[in-house]
Structure 1
Amino acid sequence: MKRILLAMALLSAVPVFAQKKPKDNTPKSFDLLIGTYTTGESKGIYVYRFYTETGATAYLNEVDGIDNPSYLCVAANNHFVYSVNEVGTERKGSVSSFSFDPKEGRIALLNKQPSTGTGPCYISIDKAQKHVFVANYASGALSVLPIAKDGTLLPVVQTIQDAGTGPNKARQEGPHVHTAVLSPDEKYLLYTDLGTDKLNIYRYKPSQPQPLTPADPSVVKVLGGHGPRHIDFTPDRKFMYLITEMGGVIYVYDYNKGEPKQLEAISIVADGFKGAVGAADIHVSPDGKFLYATNRGDANEIVVFAINPDTGSLTFVERKPSMGKTPRNFVIDPTGNFLLVANQMSDDIYVYKRDKATGKLTLTRNKISVGNPSCLKFTPAE
């Protein structure tokens, strides 16, 4: 008995330590980069600090004298930024590279290269920082530019020129390449052609002199006159979503490892709506539970859908006014707490709080005023 009591006494003397919770390594703040059209009050690219706990923002820096940096991408190392220079059809477009200091938000022009097309409107980059991919809207061509070790852009090494027309004679008189997105595993590049109602699929091999070759199949068609625009994937890579600008329809696909199979198509337009449709951007929430889309034209709204994790199908949740005119682009912060929408024609960016359980949006008091905002990108602040 004494031995048992002694053992119990020894045990009771052993200090008990509370288990430590795993550290949350998600940054509490991010740099928000804003691409713009410089035809109005804007002069170039703006950098703000964004605080994920409150949705507040603080101005950091800007780079001026940049022609229409209407779309941006950020290198994986967080130290380089790339933009299109979306000039009109009267002269060839170009793309620019910038150095970026994520601690201070400083951004500075490095160099510029021709895009070998007109009206470049979209740019993306691979994780290894080997190439950028540029959608030349006006000329209907996709361009590939290598990246040097110092972050500068080298001349175009590959141009893929689309051809064809669509049934909408005003908008589809020729090809109009609108987006260029790498698949999550970066084995494929997918790019939309609004003018020919096609999603084009190419294999990507960065070590090759011309890194893109047609996949098999290489084309996915949507209904004539719908005008495919932007795409996004669920985090588990199972499903892909494509929004059509003129049709105002979201196409749902089983991604199927580079061979997309259509599952359904659902309209973002409200029943009975008679105004102009101008669907723009589309993003899946970081947790993969909800999909958001913007509709410009006369609607000026954000539409929310719930995603079925097993089938990828969409269920309507709500539609919210964008509070401004022409919600061209929007972004969900990496924590999933907030959604920011850029209203191009009313010179403002509004911040919405996201309910992670329901997907619904609540307007906050946070707002950024900047001329003709057209692209929002987050990158970790250091």
Structure 2
Amino acid sequence: MKLKISLFAIAFLATFNLFAQNTYVFLGSYNRDKSAEAIQIYQLDTINGKLSKVASAKNIVNPSYLTVSPNGKYVYACTDTKTPNAGSISSFEFNPENKSLTFLNSQRSGGENPVYVTVHKSGKWIANANYTEGSVSVFPILENGKIDSIAQNFQYMDGSTRKERQTRSHVHSAVFSPQFDYLFLPDLGADKIRCYAFDENQKKPLIETKNPFTKTDLEAGPRHFTFHPNQKFGYCIEEMAGQISVYHYENGVLNKIQRIATHPDKIKEGFESSDIHISPDGKFLYATNRGKENNIAIFSIDENGHLKNIGYQSTLGKHPRVFAIDESGKFLIASNVNTGNVVVFKRNPKSGLLKKVGKEIKMESVSCVQIRKI
């Protein structure tokens, strides 16, 4: 009997290990040098928060923002960011068993300075936001993970009232709705959150709607956007105003219900709010502030979607452009561009507060972090 149990246990463990998933951390950068490891991938120890390097890629310029395909096999990057008269979207294949990241192909981004790329849940489409020229582009994804030629590109010329930053459109992100049937485009230059319906079965999936945009407050500078897990609320962080606008969401329509500062009352200027995410349990929202503060603002979320500030956590570096929360909600990882360091924080699920764990990673001009269990 003991022998049978032991053999059964060995077989079970072997099967478990075969299908076990690991959590990986994907880092992008403003490397500005093809000889540098512009993209780096680490495995996250989900017990102690330690990061162990797995793979990297060179010979690319400024992969400033990354996203990972739904199946975890492919990485898509905004490349040639902040490069005059350039801008591209690139694809890579990630093989965790071989610890390799292989370049597949690139396509022109449809505008200068691509800053955000996102992938549809079907894995068949990606959309990217181009900041400098104020545009959005959509590309089909081939079965081998390569990016096909551009399917649609919309450019915008309208600006807003703050002339030094809003003389024209600056689309800063492209975010799918919870059901992936709409695409939202926060436009820092125009003080609008643009919106298209999205039909994944069409050759040109972006479809104009009766509500093509939601106007934000003037000089808000909408930047990044996220939806609550319950799909009822949307949250937009405003870079220029240092505010978060909260919206009730239904069928592609946003109706504002709250606006709250990401900064303490004593901070009156120098706002550079950047990224925004919600914990998987929907109880807490986190938002990064750059500029004078370099911190993460922490908010609790009530049943009506409203936010209440409960504290701040230093990112232990300067210019935290992008951060991410792992799928379990246990860890938050921040990337600091100007100090080139990546810091892992452990979340307290009850209080929402953060505590640094593990050893930070150094990566010059690190600009983006994404986390995926594969």
What is the TM-score with the length of structure 2 in the denominator? 0.92
Aligned letter for 1:318?
Answer: G
Aligned partners of 1:49 and 1:59 also within 8 Å: yes
Among candidates 323, 334, 337, match of residue 330 of structure 1: 323
1:371 aligns with 2:364: yes
Q: Deviations over 1:83-119 (max 9, x none)?
A: 0114336212111011111334421100111112100
Aligned partners of 1:89 and 1:138 also within 8 Å: no
Aligned partners of 1:31 and 1:102 also within 8 Å: no
Alignment of 1:288-327 (within 5 A): 288-308=282-302, 310-327=303-320
How far apart, in 2, do the equivalents of 1:34 and 1:359 lie? 24
Alignment of 1:160-175 (within 5 A): 160-175=154-169
How far apart, in 2, do the equivalents of 1:155 and 1:164 lie? 27
How far apart, in 1, do the equivalents of 2:315 and 2:97 lie? 31
Among candidates 47, 57, 61, match of residue 55 of structure 2: 61
How far apart, in 2, do the equivalents of 1:259 and 1:88 lie? 32
Aligned partners of 1:52 and 1:333 also within 8 Å: no
Give the superposition deviation at 1:178: 0.5
Aligned partners of 1:329 and 1:341 also within 8 Å: yes
Q: Deviations over 1:234-271 (max 9, x none)?
A: 11111110000001100001112211111100001111
How far apart, in 2, do the equivalents of 1:34 and 1:239 lie? 29
Aligned partners of 1:48 and 1:105 also within 8 Å: no
1:276 aligns with 2:263: no
1:215 aligns with 2:209: yes
Structure 2 segments unaligned to the other structure (5+ residues)? 1-15
With over 3 angstroms needed to count, the CA separation of the structure-2 counterparts of 1:86 and 1:267, relative to structure 1, is: farther
Aligned partners of 1:60 and 1:104 also within 8 Å: no
Aligned partners of 2:49 and 2:358 also within 8 Å: no
How far apart, in 2, do the equivalents of 1:266 and 1:27 lie? 42
Aligned letter for 2:250?
Answer: N
How far apart, in 1, do the equivalents of 2:162 and 2:36 lie? 33
Q: Deviations over 1:309-338 (max 9, x none)?
A: x20000111011111000111111111111
> Runs ≥4 in structure 1, deviation > 2 angstroms?
26-29, 39-43, 86-90, 102-105
Structure 1 segments unaligned to the other structure (5+ residues)? 1-22
How far apart, in 2, do the equivalents of 1:182 and 1:244 lie? 18
How far apart, in 1, do the equivalents of 2:356 and 2:174 lie? 31
Among candidates 187, 205, 227, match of residue 193 of structure 1: 187
1:43 maps to which residue?
37
Is the partner of 1:209 in helix, strand or coil? coil
Give the superposition deviation at 1:39: 2.7
Aligned partners of 1:75 and 1:81 also within 8 Å: yes
How far apart, in 1, do the equivalents of 2:26 and 2:164 lie? 33
Is the partner of 2:338 in helix, strand or coil? helix
The alignment-based identity, stated in percent, is: 36
Aligned partners of 1:197 and 1:225 also within 8 Å: yes
How far apart, in 2, do the equivalents of 1:332 and 1:326 lie? 18
1:224 maps to which residue?
218
How far apart, in 1, do the equivalents of 2:70 and 2:245 lie? 29
Aligned partners of 2:54 and 2:96 also within 8 Å: no
Aligned partners of 2:48 and 2:358 also within 8 Å: no
Is the partner of 2:172 in helix, strand or coil? strand
1:150 maps to which residue?
144
How far apart, in 2, do the equivalents of 1:357 and 1:124 lie? 31
1:76 maps to which residue?
70
Give the superposition deviation at 1:42: 4.6
1:102 maps to which residue?
96
How far apart, in 2, do the equivalents of 1:83 and 1:220 lie? 28
Query: Whose radius of gyration is greater, 1 or 2?
Result: 1
Among candidates 30, 36, 46, match of residue 23 of structure 2: 30
Aligned partners of 1:113 and 1:154 also within 8 Å: yes
Aligned partners of 1:47 and 1:59 also within 8 Å: yes
1:245 maps to which residue?
239
1:346 maps to which residue?
339
Q: Deviations over 1:260-288 (max 9, x none)?
A: 11110000111111441100000000110
Aligned partners of 2:64 and 2:81 also within 8 Å: no
Is the partner of 2:251 in helix, strand or coil? helix
Is the partner of 1:81 in helix, strand or coil? strand
How far apart, in 2, do the equivalents of 1:70 and 1:173 lie? 24
